[in-house]
Amino acid sequence: MNGNRPIIIVKKQDHGGGHHGGAWKVAYADFVTAMMALFIVLWLLNASKQVQVAVGGYFKDPSGSAKKVGSNQAGSGENLLVSKDDMSKLKDDLQMSVRKVANFDKLKNMIEMTVTSEGLRIELMESEKGMFFDSGSPSLSDDGKDLLTALAQELGKLPNTVSIEGHTDSKPYGEKGNYSNWELSTDRANAARRIMQDNGFAAHQVTEVRGFADSRLRKPDAPEDASNRRISVLVHYTVKPEGSEPPAAAAAEAAHGTAESPQKH
């Protein structure tokens, strides 16, 4: 009888661990993605306006075909436009940079940055003994080279165009000869341009090099004051990207002047 008993085979099915399967991985990935998005939003809320526009421009046109901030063919956000609204921040950034220049304590009272209707005006004013240029010469001093290099390295990161102006005081350069304050002011502006283009400026950034002699005095009531002798670097406003508020029209600004006499430069 025992030999005729049926053989019963019991098969157990593996259900993959039930609730301990791979579904939790999907939920965890969703959670990490949501946290990443939250961190990006929080970062953008605290970023500068030009960074926000650059990031927005990239997502609007990732291919880089549109001529907008953050989506040009040179790379997303690499060249940030500095418009009128951003010029005050640029001024703060430049002030931080020039503080790192050697002998800054000696130079700080001779540097002035002002946001004007034309853009950011940076003025390097001379002292009675000469600060940025050798006396009566367009040759830059070591302090002048260091300061212009620091400015060029910061401004060279931007696409904004720049004008460079030379000014003198009302003391005549010399009684004889064909070299006057007009030539001196122009030569000094050109010397500043060469230093800046050798240290970060793109060739196309400089749109004007102008010499005004004593025709635009900083202190008209003291025409022979040393502060009338100066180099002015004017960073022009740019046109804002599409969809943003248009910049105000540039108005004429009260000019400043820098002059230099051969005896006290």
Assess if residue 191 is contained within a domain: yes
- Choose among 230, 220, 226: nearest CA to 192: 230
> Residue 135 domain-assigned?
yes
The pTM for the full model equals: 0.58
List, for residues 208-263, the tens digit of each pLDDT value.
999 999 999 989 999 998 889 999 999 888 755 444 444 333 333 333 333 344 44
Domain-embedded: residue 59:
no
Rounded to whole angstroms, how far apart are CA atoms 206 and 201? 8
- Is 120 inside any structural domain? yes
Q: What is the mean pLDDT of each run of 10 residues along the chain (265 residues)?
A: 67 58 82 89 77 70 47 37 70 81 77 86 85 85 88 86 92 78 93 92 90 92 90 82 42 37 42
Cα–Cα distance for residue pair 122/102, rounded to 1 Å: 18
Give all strands (DSSP E) within 10-151, no chain letters: 111-115, 119-125
Helix orientation angle between 142-155 and 181-197, rounded to the nearest 10 degrees: 60
85: tokens are 């609204």
Residue 245 lies in a domain: no
CATH number, domain of 171, equals 3.30.1330.60
| 33 inside domain | no
The range of the structural domain enclosing residue 109 comes to: 84-236
DSSP secondary structure letter of residue 227: G
Number of domains in the chain: 1
d(CA 8, CA 14): 20
Evaluate whether 183 touches 214 at the Cβ level (below 8 Å). Answer: no
Answer yes or no: are the C-beta atoms of 169 and 258 closer than 8 Å.
yes
Query: Residue 187: which of 211, 208, 163 has the closest Cα?
Result: 211
d(CA 168, CA 234): 17
Q: Look at residue 66 and tell me if it is in a domain.
A: no
pLDDT at 188: 94
Q: pLDDT, tens digit, for every residue of 74-95?
A: 333 334 455 666 778 888 888 8
* Cα 246 from Cα 206, distance rounded (Å): 23
Give a yes or no: residue 181 inside a domain: yes
What's the pLDDT score for residue 22? 72
Instruction: Show the beta-strand stretches assigned E in 14-160.
Output: 111-115, 119-125
> What count of other Cβ atoms lies within 10 Å of the Cβ of residue 133?
26
Q: Which two tokens stand for residue 159?
A: 């696409």
